[in-house]
Homo-oligomer: A and B are copies of this chain.
């Protein structure tokens, strides 16, 4: 792993656990065994460092949204599976966006995250009218995302195998969303 990628990994771990604002460039430098100035040699600013960490996950999310959009009709089953896989793939980035997105909305990359999440919620709001339906989707996707984000902190996960988590999340989302889907149709 290049020094550049190593720094990105260190920063991601710190941003996700301690928070972006609470993680100083000095601390990242210490963990990497180099000087703060060296960190700023690899990444021209702290915001750019955050952007390089978060953007790959947002790119995937964007791709997913576009493909759903182009499909014309919403097929919940497909979306759910791809969404869960996306969350699991970018497991470390999820707490960053979920927990600190609101706070860091003035940082461009985090604003992008907010916009993407809003597009998802609007995507489903169009297909579901009642308050119950809206909240059902909110609880479903928010709950899955937040559970992944909070799992470590609250001791929820332990050492559960990922594929077991995956199938469990898929079943839960299916329970929550499929009755809603049938009600629309």
Taking Cβ atoms with an 8 Å cutoff, the residues of A that contact B are: 17-19, 21-22, 95, 98-105, 114, 117-118, 121-122, 125, 131-132, 134-136, 138-140, 142-147, 150-151, 153-156, 160, 164-165, 168-169, 171-172, 175-176, 179
Contact = CB atoms under 8 A, between A and B. Distances in A.
Nearest to A135: B168
A182 B53 CA distance: 43
Contact of A135 (B17, B135, B154, B165): B165
A165 B130 CA distance: 11
Contact of A138 (B100, B134, B151): B151
A126 to B, nearest CB: 13
Main secondary structure of the interface of A (DSSP, over half): helix
Contacts of A146: 98, 142-143, 145-146
B172 A176 contact: yes
23 contacts: A17-B102, A18-B103, A19-B21, A19-B102, A21-B21, A21-B103, A95-B102, A105-B153, A117-B154, A125-B156, A131-B160, A135-B147, A135-B165, A135-B168, A135-B169, A136-B168, A138-B151, A138-B154, A139-B172, A140-B143, A142-B147, A143-B143, A176-B176
Given A102-B95, A131-B168, A156 B143 contact: no
Contacts of A18: 103
Chain B CB within 10 A, most for which of A117, A122, A146? A146
Contact of A143 (B17, B138, B153): B138
Nearest to A101: B153
A103 B139 CA distance: 23
